[in-house]
Amino acid sequence: MAGGIALIQGASRGIGLQFCRSLLQSRPGVKVIGTCRDPNAAHQLQTLKVEFPGALTVLSLDVTKPEDLLRAAENVQRDFPCLDLLINCTAMLHPSGRGETSLREVTAEGLSHTFATNTIGPLLMVKHFSPLLLKGTGAFGPDLLTRPKSTELF
């Protein structure tokens, strides 16, 4: 089954960008929603948007900001009937971008920001986007087509 609607959170570079690229190149009719903190600085993602007109939507989203999560969920719900796939790709080792090299560099603020980005953000993504996932078609997993639909998560 081709097509489907996928949301890739953390799509400006690295594995998130590659998920967007791979889906757009390999699945005719797919719609991809790529999110990142600063779409204007996400040059490779913007290039993909031009290369695949109408197939890629780019949204601003910082998973550490609850208002961003709500706004993004509302925008996606307004513009798309469902989601078939949600991939969370945002992660960080340390807010400095280089990681701690010793215990002297560990701070409560750094740990809190890292935890918010790596753990809380992805969980809140699932919370806010699960209603759209429950409406999904199973386009990315044929085995899902045979499972009974449930409105309960876990």
CATH superfamily of 5-146: NAD(P)-binding Rossmann-like Domain (3.40.50.720)
Report the alpha-carbon distance of residue 19 to residue 85 in Å, rounded.
11
pLDDT at 31 over 90: yes
pLDDT at 111 over 90: no
Q: What is the mean pLDDT of residues 92-97?
A: 75
Q: What is the mean pLDDT of residues 74-90?
A: 95
Contacts 24+ apart (CB under 8 A), 115-122: 116/63, 116/64, 117/63, 117/64, 117/90, 117/91, 117/92, 118/90, 118/91, 118/92, 120/63, 120/64, 121/9, 121/63, 121/64, 121/69, 121/88, 121/90, 122/9, 122/63, 122/88, 122/90
Please report the pLDDT score of residue 75 as a whole number. 96
Is the separation of the CB atoms in 30 and 146 below 8 Å?
no
Q: What is the mean pLDDT of residues 96-124?
A: 84
Please report the pLDDT score of residue 144 as a whole number. 46
Q: What is the mean pLDDT of residues 81-89?
A: 95
Please report the pLDDT score of residue 154 as a whole number. 46
Q: What band does 20 get if pLDDT is binned at 50, 70 and 90?
A: very high
pLDDT at 102 over 90: no
Task: Please tell me the least confidently modeled range out of 18-22, 75-79, 130-134, 136-140.
Answer: 136-140
